[in-house]
Amino acid sequence: MQRIIITGNAGSGKSTLARQLGKIMSVPVIHADTYLFIEGEAWKVRPIDDFHADILEAIAQDSWIFESGDIGAFQQSCERCEAIIYIDFNRFFCLYRVIKRRVQIKKKPRTEMPKGCIDRLERKFVKGVFWDYYKSRRPRLLHVIEASGKQVYHLKSRKQAREFAKMVKAKHL
């Protein structure tokens, strides 16, 4: 596997797993949020055509790990990927991780985010993590995953995610 997509809800650990696998496999990690938001302008979204053009350019490489919760970016990269890792954790766990992350990093941007995009626990975001993702985005995402015909790793727990990383590490020694 040289081109992998990691997707799932906010707080599911997509970025963490992507960084782990990138290090193990010695391949670049592409974080969709890096391309989605305008650096220095808190949470301002770039024009969607520019975002998608940059994603296409990034995934033109021979090897990568692409992590995204955005359905459009996921569909776009799905054609070139060899495998999909779908992190499908419980909504309570994802919300807990989002809150924990916000408390831990305080007013600093995450490493995979453009400068100026500092996590906020706004009502809309919390609702998106806890309710909207499971009501609308998850079913659409599952449909695209099933229709892709790609190899899929459906991780439903932290233990499965750790075991998956260990399996990849064992194959790359």
Residue given tokens 């970016």 in the structure block? 73
Of residues 43 and 153, more confidence is placed in 153
Amino acid 164: pLDDT = 96
User: pLDDT: is 119 or 35 the higher one?
Assistant: 35
Residue 1: pLDDT band with limits 50, 70, 90: confident
3-class DSSP state of 66: strand
Residue 101: exposed, middle, or buried by beta-carbon count in 10 A (0-12, 13-18, 19+)?
middle
At 25, list the tokens: 């496999």
Strand order in the sheet with 29-31: 29-31, 64-67, 3-8, 83-87, 151-155
- How far apart CA 60 and CA 73 sit, in angstroms, is 14
Residue 168: CA count within 13 A, CB half-sphere: 24
Q: In the prediction, which pLDDT does 117 show?
A: 65
Contact by Cβ (8 Å): 38, 46 = yes
Residue 99 confidence (pLDDT): 85
Domain ranges (residues) in the chain: 3-171
Give 86-143 pLDDT, tens digit per residue: 999 999 999 998 888 777 776 666 667 666 666 677 788 889 888 998 999 999 999 9
The Cα–Cα gap between 6 and 12 comes to 10
pLDDT per residue over 20-32, tens digit each? 999 999 999 999 8
DSSP string, 7-19: EESTTSSHHHHHH
Per-residue pLDDT tens over the stretch 42-63: 778 889 999 889 999 999 999 9
CATH topology of domain 3-171: Rossmann fold (3.40.50)
